[in-house]
Amino acid sequence: MMRTNDEILGQFEAALSQMQTPEEPELLYAPIIYSMAGGGKRLRPVLLLIANEAFGGNIDKAMPAALAVEVFHNFTLLHDDIMDNADVRRGKPSVFAKWGENVAILSGDAMLITAYKMLTALDAERLPRVLHIFNDMALEVCEGQQYDMDFESMTVVTVEDYIQMIERKTSALLSGSAMIGATLAGASDDDIKKLYRFATELGLAFQLQDDVLDSFGDEALGKKIGGDILEGKQTYLMVQAMNRASEVEREVLRTTHKNEALSDAEKIATIKALYEKLDVKRAAEQQIELRFERALAVLNTLSIAGERTVRLQEFARNLMGRKK
Amino acid sequence: MMRTNDEILGQFEAALSQMQTPEEPELLYAPIIYSMAGGGKRLRPVLLLIANEAFGGNIDKAMPAALAVEVFHNFTLLHDDIMDNADVRRGKPSVFAKWGENVAILSGDAMLITAYKMLTALDAERLPRVLHIFNDMALEVCEGQQYDMDFESMTVVTVEDYIQMIERKTSALLSGSAMIGATLAGASDDDIKKLYRFATELGLAFQLQDDVLDSFGDEALGKKIGGDILEGKQTYLMVQAMNRASEVEREVLRTTHKNEALSDAEKIATIKALYEKLDVKRAAEQQIELRFERALAVLNTLSIAGERTVRLQEFARNLMGRKK
């Protein structure tokens, strides 16, 4: 019997709780413990372990890599919070807000090194390939963050550039995790390449859905609407809208978030009205469907028996908040 | 014939000039190229390659590790400059000053990952051990930097704590480099352990000498004197002086650097007079001799023929600015 995804998550959390961190210097290591204990959905390690199991891998042997990708992910959040000047992370003070910038920089560095330290517990035979995938993934995440920061000062971003940015910033860590899990199970190059495509498309669908929900989500579900609009952030909706807008509309899209004459609610309403008019919500939803369907379709082309891909399908649906 | 240390440096610089870095995103990779081209003495990669050659290793096979330690070293400088608010590095604007903090954080992260990327070019057979040494070394450097920052807000630091801090901040990267070089040449565990001691003692001697020269160096040699004193930095001299001082003298040691009634020259003269009175310069010089002699003595205990250790001796003398 294959483990359910919840069982896999449970085993990951158990392994994480065993993770040893030195006690001193306290200001170096306490923020690492704080970050890792901060929760989160553990999407990347779970995907890694599901991919590993789909190809008949041993969960215990893959666990160090699962820990490594989760530590890496939390490292990126820690440093991103400095760059974004973000005080809150998962409902608690960010490391940056709690300990200050220098501690956040240095403990983040120690966290990145700790991720690599986890990898040394893998079988020596698989280590070079995993390290290779891990490094490429890690650099892509940095590239994605840099493009995202670059976009802040750009007026018009092309849809292609935006997609390439989120392929790095969001998809790379998912696709790297899936590839590492499969690599550790001895999957073929062809299957590994397919998992890369599965997770890349899924990551895009997930990020685009996140963009849409930020403007059109259900406030009744406790989701705060309009954060991206108020920050003047480049999102799929904004990028598409700017590309479709008239010169006058562009000016509105560009300046509304800093218009001091408007309340927050008015700013959000103004931009959403333009999004509706320019039909960009529907464009985004079409992209989401396309990417999600592509991701699921890739699973059917894997060399393993169909029933072995069930957990990957469940993971994908669950990530997108869908029952089926 | 063994290569001279200058020949080794030449080969390292040639390899470094071949290092490939992506062009985009420019703000991620240009700071890496800028840092690596900024010069420096390349002490760590040269030590790695000398240790490798002493044990009969192949310089080309060790080169990726030499590049990795140099990239890592420059990464630490890049992030340290943010934490220390340092505008100048090797006579040029620091990355932090030139591109700002966010770029310095993120390109530093990419640099750390790039160091690991270099390591993947090593023979798979040696990779796990090298990675292990590299990770421990990298974490120790972070620990050293954190202790150094901790000391800034402490009044009295013990000599033992100070030594432990520089063992991490300065020695770890030298000892890690020497160990990696020897490991790649297939040296025995016993010899590797001895090289660790050699480089640890040498690093301590080097850092303590740096501390002494900052207060008692020769201005005629172009060295600017008193920087540590004006910053109120914890150095071996200050730590020893605080431990030997009376309550009244401690107050002077503690407060002079922020005494607005004094000129810089007066501040420096005040502290140096106390250093002389408390005889801490001589204490430092004794420590330097002790550590340096210990380092050289370790070389005589290696299992290889004496003539194979000549370049390591030369490296040590050269580092300390000594003819013999």
CATH of A5-319, one of 3.90.110.10, 3.90.226.10, 3.40.50.720, 1.10.600.10: 1.10.600.10
Which residue of B22, B110, B147 is in closest CB contact with A25? Answer: B147
Residue A107 tokens, joined:
């403990």
Please name the member of B82, B120, B139 whose beta carbon is closest to the beta carbon of A110.
Answer: B139
CB contact under 8 A, B135 and A113: yes
Q: What is the pLDDT along chain B (324 residues), one digit of tens a residue?
A: 789 999 999 999 999 999 999 999 999 999 999 999 988 999 999 999 999 999 999 999 999 999 999 999 999 999 999 999 999 999 999 999 999 999 999 999 999 999 999 999 999 999 999 999 999 999 999 999 999 999 999 988 999 999 999 999 999 999 999 999 999 999 999 999 999 999 999 999 999 999 999 999 987 776 788 999 999 999 999 999 999 999 999 999 999 999 999 999 999 999 999 999 999 999 999 999 999 999 999 999 999 999 999 999 999 999 999 876
Low-confidence ranges of chain A (pLDDT < 50): none
Quick check: B170 and B203 in contact, CB under 8 A? yes
**E strand or H helix at B88, and its extent?**
strand B88-89
Residue from the list A28, A79, A143 with its beta carbon closest to the beta carbon of B25: A143
Q: What is the pLDDT of residue A324?
A: 65
Asked if B83's CB is within 8 angstroms of A28's CB, the reply is: no
Q: How many inter-chain contacts (A to B, CB under 8 Å) are there?
A: 109
Strands, DSSP E only, in chain A?
A: 88-89, 92-93
Encoding tokens for residue A235? 């999102």
Sequence-distant (≥ 6) Cβ neighbours of residue A316 within 8 angstroms? A198, A202, A292, A295, A296, A299
Q: What is the ipTM of this complex?
A: 0.97
Residues of chain A in contact with residue B147, where contact means CB-CB under 8 angstroms, are: 25
What's the number of CA atoms in the CB half-sphere (13 Å) around residue B181? Answer: 31
Q: Do A143 and A155 touch, CB atoms closer than 8 A?
A: no
The answer to whether the beta carbons of residues A300 and A316 sit under 8 Å apart is: no
pTM: 0.97
| CA separation for the pair B199, B186 (Å, rounded) | 18
CA angle A234, A235, A239 (to 5 degrees): 75
Chain A's closest residue to B125, CA to CA, is: A124
Phi and psi, residue B92, nearest 5°: -125, 165
The residue among A102, A126, A161 with the most chain B CBs within 10 A of its CB, best to mutate, is A102
* Binary contact (B120, A131; C-beta < 8 A): yes
Q: Which residues contact A89 (CB under 8 A, 6 or more apart)?
A: A38, A77, A81, A95
Q: How far away is chain A from the Cα of B120, in angstroms, using its nearest Cα?
A: 6
B18-72 tens-digit pLDDT: 999 999 999 999 999 999 998 899 999 999 999 999 999 999 999 999 999 999 9
Which chain B positions have a beta carbon within 8 Å of A109's beta carbon?
79, 108-109, 112, 142
pLDDT of residue B324: 65
Residue ranges per structural domain of chain B: 5-319
| B145 to A119: CB separation less than 8 angstroms, yes or no | no
State whether B146 and A27 contact (CB < 8 Å): yes
